[in-house]
Amino acid sequence: MRCLWLTRKYPRPVNSGELIYSDGMISAFAETEVELTVIAHDNDERPVGDGSSDSRYVDAQGVAWRLGSPQLGGRLGSLVTRYPSDSHRLKNGGPEAALAQALREESWDVIVIDHAAMGWALESLVKGRNGSRQPKLVYLSHNHEAKIRREIAKESTNESLPKRLALRLDAEKYVRQEEALCAQVDLVTAITDTEVAAYRDQFSNQRYLTLTPGYRGERHPNHEITEATPRRVVMSGSFEWIAKRLNLESFLAKAAKPFAEAGIELQIVGKTDEAFRQSIAARYPTVDFVGKVPEMTPYLLDSRMGLIVETLGGGFKLKALDYLFHRLPLAGLRHAVDGLPHTSPEEVLLMDSMPSLIREVIVAVDDVPRLNRMTAASFEKCEAAFEWKDRGRQLHEAISAL
């Protein structure tokens, strides 16, 4: 099977949930019986190409990467196009030309569109299906973009009027692009069953496959929380995307004061813009906003609970697996941990509202025996449930069935 895979950028180093998912799926799929070529932008943090708009690189798995420039262009130009701002930036700087060449000079059995932002390629791919040899098309979704983009536009009330209008326009472009993908490809994958159901409501005749993430990070099966563990709760993640920032600010407005009054340290760890980090730190001086770190493990092993509190967006939160495999008890809003096999309060602490979650965390953080029972039960349940190799095999089987 010859596969052409279109993704946003070379995903290594993996420092965000989207890159973790793309990297995991590409690596897992490459281990099946497939000849894999990937078109993407180079990674601006650690480029593997020569910095041009046409670099070639073969990784240790034999995956052939065709890489555009590491630096993306601006978003403003997208306003006069039909593309969402992300798509406008991603199609330029090499990938659009690389795709045209690949379609013109080579034949493919399947083409994977990894993320809705890569929907800029759909028109060329549909045109390229003329003739006797027609590649199958797969849309590998990361979120139900129509839902999440409209939510972001609606909740961005603190932004200027021009930016709010731009977000609304961008959201509707994303909606149209995602709908075109769902209507015209041969298979749609989603990260949770809930998102499959949402797609099926509109596109009932489409083929779907749920591909929850795998996990290849550190595992600490013997870690235990003790009385000496700091009375600290941690929230990890990447806080560069506007949705992540809105979620964080909403949470801090409700949680910073009660945690401080209870003598519980709240620690936020993850990549973000330094100006944003400083702004948050100034507004919430009792919160320890660490920012980007080279390794999450020391922070996860030195806390009593890990938080998942997103109110915007759906999808699977990959930091949940970081918590669970480090034997860190997970506490979160029930709708924010979609895709986990955990339902019992003996495994994870889930509540329906932010105030109730904050109250329960304050109580639970000092119950060390309970915290260790939770981690033991949750680790056992997820230990063999999140293998990337299984996801690669599932995708290969679904494509072969087409």
% of the chain residues with pLDDT over 70 = 98
Whether residues 368 and 342 fall in one domain: yes
Mean pLDDT of 265-286: 88
d(CA 239, CA 242): 8
Confidence of residue 328 (pLDDT cuts 50, 70, 90): very high
Confidence of residue 134 (pLDDT cuts 50, 70, 90): confident
d(CA 296, CA 271): 11
Closest CA to 399 of 145, 189, 98, 97: 189
Distance of CA 64 to CAs 49, 115, 144, Å?
12, 19, 29
Whether residues 201 and 252 fall in one domain: no
Query: Has residue 223 been placed in a domain?
Result: no
Report pLDDT digits (tens) over 146-204: 888 888 788 777 778 888 888 899 889 999 999 999 999 999 999 999 899 999 999 99
Higher pLDDT, 263 or 272: 263
Higher pLDDT, 251 or 157: 251
Query: Has residue 225 been placed in a domain?
Result: no
Q: Is 182 helix (H, G, I), strand (E, B) or coil?
A: helix
Whether residues 202 and 54 fall in one domain: yes
The structure's pTM equals: 0.88
Whether residues 48 and 83 fall in one domain: yes
Whether residues 152 and 50 fall in one domain: yes
Query: Has residue 227 been placed in a domain?
Result: no
Query: Has residue 220 been placed in a domain?
Result: no
Higher pLDDT, 136 or 245: 136
Whether residues 149 and 6 fall in one domain: yes
Query: Has residue 7 been placed in a domain?
Result: yes
Report pLDDT digits (tens) over 64-118: 999 999 988 788 878 878 899 999 999 999 999 999 999 999 999 999 999 999 9
Q: What pLDDT score was predicted for residue 128?
A: 55
Q: What pLDDT score was predicted for residue 373?
A: 94
**Residue 327 region by backbone torsions, left for phi larger than 0, else alpha for psi between -120 and 50, else beta:** left
Q: What pLDDT score was predicted for residue 132?
A: 52
Whether residues 303 and 338 fall in one domain: yes
Closest CA to 139 of 212, 208, 198, 36: 208
- Top-ranked range on mean pLDDT: pick from 37-41, 75-79, 248-252, 267-271: 37-41
Whether residues 278 and 332 fall in one domain: yes
Q: What pLDDT score was predicted for residue 334?
A: 82
CATH classification of the domain holding 276: 3.40.50.2000
Query: Has residue 222 been placed in a domain?
Result: no
Query: Has residue 96 been placed in a domain?
Result: yes
Query: Has residue 226 been placed in a domain?
Result: no
**Per-residue tokens: 280:** 């948050």
Q: Check pLDDT > 60 for residue 130.
A: no
- Mean per-residue pLDDT of the chain: 90
Whether residues 240 and 362 fall in one domain: yes
Whether residues 183 and 264 fall in one domain: no
Count of structural domains within the chain: 2
Mean pLDDT of 224-250: 87
Domain that holds residue 169: 2-213+388-401
Q: Where do the H-state alpha helices sit in 42-160?
A: 85-91, 95-105, 122-127, 145-155
Q: What pLDDT score was predicted for residue 31?
A: 97
- Whats the size of the chain, residue-wise? 402
Whether residues 170 and 294 fall in one domain: no
Whether residues 321 and 189 fall in one domain: no
